[in-house]
């Protein structure tokens, strides 16, 4: 579990690249610069950890591309005191980036038991403390901890899950890739009891958000 000067140097290069690609939020760039992505990947991929690409993790899933992680996090517009719900813990890399934001509490849900167990252990080793890590179906959100100021979905959904939009606080943001083969990054902002603003932010590719396994 080491972080060498080589890794740190590669991370600085990655941060520069993300800035060139248009990421502006300093907190997000700092978080990317401070999370050792290589520790969230299989050690055989160590040389690729700071390449701006998605890579395979366990259970046929992928660790998201750093640009995508930065882009989604920027869209969440996090501030102190926000309660954040993440759907699709996966490797835990995106969770770690969220946790680098001062004063936010993070809840994260994963439906693959193998990943849930593996990442739970990794969080302990790295002393990362999400408020709660849940093994379950993210489609349902987390009703007993709702509402959330921010919800991030890290898998592609064919349409927006009703429970997630309902669990947004007033002014809360839901960032979710929507579509089947390709996804369009979409942000919903709750503007009232029954009203939402919807904005789209271009094409991405995600593994699918799956239902009904557990
Ligand atoms: N944020 C992760 C991305 C992992 S890929 C990372 O950076 O590593 C998407 C994850 O969503 C996978 O781990 C997959 O198992 C999980 N997933 C898919 N459908 C889900 C659902 N209904 N509820 C919770 N997690 C789900």
pLDDT, tens only, 124-182:
999 999 999 999 999 999 999 999 999 999 999 999 999 999 999 999 999 999 999 99
Find out whether the beta carbon of 96 lies less than 6 Å from any atom of ligand 1: no
Find out whether the beta carbon of 149 lies less than 6 Å from any atom of ligand 1: no
Determine the pLDDT at residue 1. Answer: 74
CATH number at residue 17: 3.40.50.150
In a domain, 46, yes or no: yes
In a domain, 11, yes or no: yes
Distance separating alpha carbons of residues 22 and 58, to the nearest angstrom: 30
Query: Per residue in 54-103, pLDDT tens?
Result: 999 998 899 999 999 999 999 999 999 999 999 999 999 999 999 999 99
Centre of ligand 1 to C-alpha 38, Å, is 19
In a domain, 179, yes or no: yes
Dig out the tokens for 113 from the structure.
Answer: 């038991």
Q: Dihedral through CA 29, CA 35, CA 38, CA 41, nearest 10?
A: -100
Owning domain of residue 185: 5-204
Query: Per residue in 4-35, pLDDT tens?
Result: 999 999 999 999 999 999 999 999 999 999 99
In a domain, 209, yes or no: no
Centre of ligand 1 to C-alpha 86, Å, is 9
Find out whether the beta carbon of 87 lies less than 6 Å from any atom of ligand 1: yes
Unique residue bearing structure tokens 């000067």: 5
Q: Over 90: is that where the pLDDT of 214 sits?
A: no
Give me the percent of the chain exceeding a pLDDT of 90: 95
Find out whether the beta carbon of 153 lies less than 6 Å from any atom of ligand 1: no
40, 56, 89: residue to mutate for ligand 1 pocket, most atoms within 8 A of CB: 89
E strands in 126-205: 132-135, 148-153, 168-178, 183-190, 196-204
pTM of the model: 0.97
Distance separating alpha carbons of residues 48 and 40, to the nearest angstrom: 12
Q: How many domains does the chain have?
A: 1
Query: Per residue in 104-127, pLDDT tens?
Result: 999 999 999 999 999 999 999 999
Determine the pLDDT at residue 213. Answer: 58
Sorted by sequence, the CB contacts under 8 Å of residue 177 that are 6+ apart come out as 153, 155, 156, 157, 183, 184, 185, 186, 204, 206
Centre of ligand 1 to C-alpha 62, Å, is 8
Find out whether the beta carbon of 37 lies less than 6 Å from any atom of ligand 1: no
In a domain, 83, yes or no: yes
- Active-site residue set: 64
In a domain, 211, yes or no: no
Centre of ligand 1 to C-alpha 210, Å, is 8
In a domain, 135, yes or no: yes
Residues 122, 99: contact at Cβ < 8 Å? no
19: three-class secondary structure by DSSP: helix
Measured between alpha carbons, how far is residue 28 from residues 79, 99, 129 in Å?
A: 11, 11, 18
Determine the pLDDT at residue 211. Answer: 84
In a domain, 210, yes or no: no
Query: Per residue in 188-200, pLDDT tens?
Result: 999 999 999 999 9
């Amino acid at each position: 579990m080491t972080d060498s000067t080589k890794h740190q140097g590669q991370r600085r290069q990655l941060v520069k690249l993300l800035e060139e690609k248009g990421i502006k939020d300093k907190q997000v760039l700092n978080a990317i610069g401070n999370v050792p992505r290589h520790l969230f990947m299989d050690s055989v991929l160590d040389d690729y950890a700071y390449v701006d690409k998605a890579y395979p993790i366990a259970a046929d899933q992928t660790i998201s591309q750093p640009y995508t992680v930065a882009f989604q996090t920027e869209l969440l517009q996090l501030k102190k005191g926000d309660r954040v719900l993440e759907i699709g813990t996966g490797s835990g890399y995106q969770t770690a980036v969220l946790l680098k934001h001062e004063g936010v509490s993070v809840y994260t849900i994963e439906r693959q038991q193998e990943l849930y167990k593996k990442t739970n252990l990794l969080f302990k080793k790295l002393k990362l403390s999400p408020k709660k890590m849940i093994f379950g179906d993210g489609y349902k959100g987390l009703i007993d901890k709702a509402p959330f100021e921010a919800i991030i979905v890290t898998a592609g959904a064919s349409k927006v899950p009703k429970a997630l939009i309902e669990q947004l606080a007033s002014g809360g943001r839901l960032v979710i890739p929507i579509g089947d083969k390709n996804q369009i990054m979409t942000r919903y902002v709750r503007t009232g009891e029954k009203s939402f603003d919807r904005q789209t932010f271009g094409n991405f590719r995600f593994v699918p958000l799956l239902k009904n396994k557990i």
